[in-house]
Structure 1
Amino acid sequence: MIELNGKKYEVMENVREGFDEGAIAERYTDVLKKYDYIVGDWGYSQLRLKGFYDTERSKATYDSRIDMVEDYILEYCNFGCAYFILKKVDE
């Protein structure tokens, strides 16, 4: 469990030790708080964060739904990169 700006998140996946709480806290911005999931991937020692919505959200675009995260990782992330997926926990 991790807390970012008052929101709690659960680590759903941690591939190749990509999860680094300190790095996430440094890169996190309030823009991400509207998303249900946050995906972080590492490339060239740089952490990149992207938000995704739950599949059930009717207004979510096709590319912004969490069920499309595998396509995102394959298409936009470095091959074999370390990454993680955080899910927002409802309080």
Structure 2
Amino acid sequence: MIETDHGYFEIIKDYKEALEIKMFNDKYVPYLNRYKYIVGDYSADMLRLKGFTDKTVETIPDYLMESCTPNAPYFVLRRLNKKKPKN
């Protein structure tokens, strides 16, 4: 389990150690709150985030193959139900 500014996540995959919490926190937008799974990949040295639901999680391998630079670093996170406390 990891803690971010946007809640708690389980790391499903961290290919080439792509997950950097600060970069994730900076790039994250509230729109992603609706998704249980978050995929982050680096294209042209920029982090891209995309959300997936339980119904679309099976399409993550297709997304990585079709929309990402081949062999690019990426990570897959699963949102945990545990809420981050508000300060």
**TM range, smaller chain:** 0.7 to 0.9
CA contact (8 A) 1:41 1:83 kept: yes
1:75 and 2:76 correspond: no
Residue 73 (structure 1) shift: 0.3
Q: Which runs of 5+ in 1 are unaligned?
A: 56-64
Match of 1:26 in 2: 26
Aligned residues: 81
CA distance in 1 between partners of 2:26 and 2:19 (Å): 13
Q: What corresponds to 1:50 in structure 2?
A: 50
SS at match of 1:18: coil
Task: Between 7-16 and 80-89, report the one with greater CA deviation.
Answer: 7-16
Unmatched runs of 5 consecutive residues or more in structure 2: 83-87
| Letter of the 1:49 counterpart | L
Q: Distance in 2 between matches of 1:82 and 1:3?
A: 20
> What is the one-letter code of the residue matched to 2:4?
E
- In structure 2, what is the equivalent of residue 2 of structure 1? 3
The structural deviation recorded for 1:3 is 2.3
SS in 2 for 1:50: strand
Note the alpha carbon deviations across 1:1-53, whole angstroms, 9 max, x for none.
Answer: 12233x21111100011111111011000000000000000011100000000
For the Cα contact (< 8 Å) 2:4–2:21, is it kept in 1? Answer: no
Q: Distance in 2 between matches of 1:73 and 1:88?
A: 19
Runs of 4+ in 1 over 4 A off after TM superposition: none
**TM-score computed with the length of structure 2 as normaliser:** 0.87
> What is the identity percentage for the equivalent residue pairs of Structure 1 and Structure 2?
30
State the one-letter code of the partner of 2:59: M
